[in-house]
Amino acid sequence: MRALVVEDEAAVAEDIRAALHAAGFVVDIAPDGRDAWFAGDVEDYDIAILDLGLPQLDGLSVLKRWRAADRLFPVIIVSARGDWTERVEGINAGADDYLGKPFEMGELIARVRGLLRRAAGRGSSVLAVGPLRIDSQRMTAELNGVPVRLSPLEFRLLDYLAHSPARAVSAMELADHLYGAADTTDSNAIEALVARLRRKVGAGLITTRRGFGYMLGDSG
């Protein structure tokens, strides 16, 4: 999962980054509105945390521009001014959630997870695919009720697939969301990762659609 954090105060940005990173996200930070707009327009994020008070370009404007450009990833607005009208404005501009400062990192993570769940069209916080249960909260997985020990990358790959229902996800997209955009590796790292995952969760769970990508389950 890839997240964009828009926050001008470096210390706060770093706190959020750390929390998200610990929760298994790849994080980009945009320190001002202009960078934020650009990054959100150009990169492929799963979610954005957006501070409203920003230099260069106001947070609400950033959000509106994203939405106008059909950038539909979930956005959580974070703001110091606990203003009620502001909240409404945020929602109207296309925000999916609102969090007043100061806030607990735990709450932020929880809301992020909730939004991702909704975006994936799932109700429960524990995703189930066949005999496999994936708990993104605890970063654990169970096969037939038996805990499976997964490495961080393995888990994130599995988690990303689980959040992309009924869709084949290409190796390129996976690399993008697991590593971030920077490296255009044309290696078989993803294939190797998938192989190791299959060895742990059973070969049948991850289907390869030749020429398209990977998906969980086998229908479709």
Partner DNA sequence: GCGCCGCTGACATCCGGCTGACGGCCGACG
Partner DNA sequence: CGTCGGCCGTCAGCCGGATGTCAGCGGCGC
**Region near a second copy per CB under 8 A, out of 50-58, 83-91, 99-107, 189-197:** 99-107
CA–CA gap between residue 135 and residue 125 (Å, rounded): 7
- Closest to DNA by CB, 52 vs 178, is 178
Binding-residue total with DNA (CB under 7 A): 25
Residues between 9 and 68 that touch a second copy (CB under 8 A): 15, 18-19, 22, 38, 41-44
What are the tokens at 104? 């607990």
Provide the token pair at 29: 């930070």
Regarding 200 and contact with DNA (CB under 7 A), the answer is no
Dihedral (CA of 122, 163, 120, 28) sign:
positive
Find the DSSP H helices in 81-219: 84-93, 105-119, 152-162, 171-179, 189-201
Which residue among 83, 88, 199, 218 contacts DNA (CB under 7 A)?
A: 199
- Span interacting with DNA, options 12-20, 112-120, 126-134, 147-155, rule CB under 7 A: 147-155
Report the C-alpha gap between 156 and 27 in whole angstroms.
14
The residues that touch DNA, with contacts defined as CB under 7 A, are 149, 151-154, 171, 179, 185, 187-189, 191-196, 198-199, 203, 208, 210-213
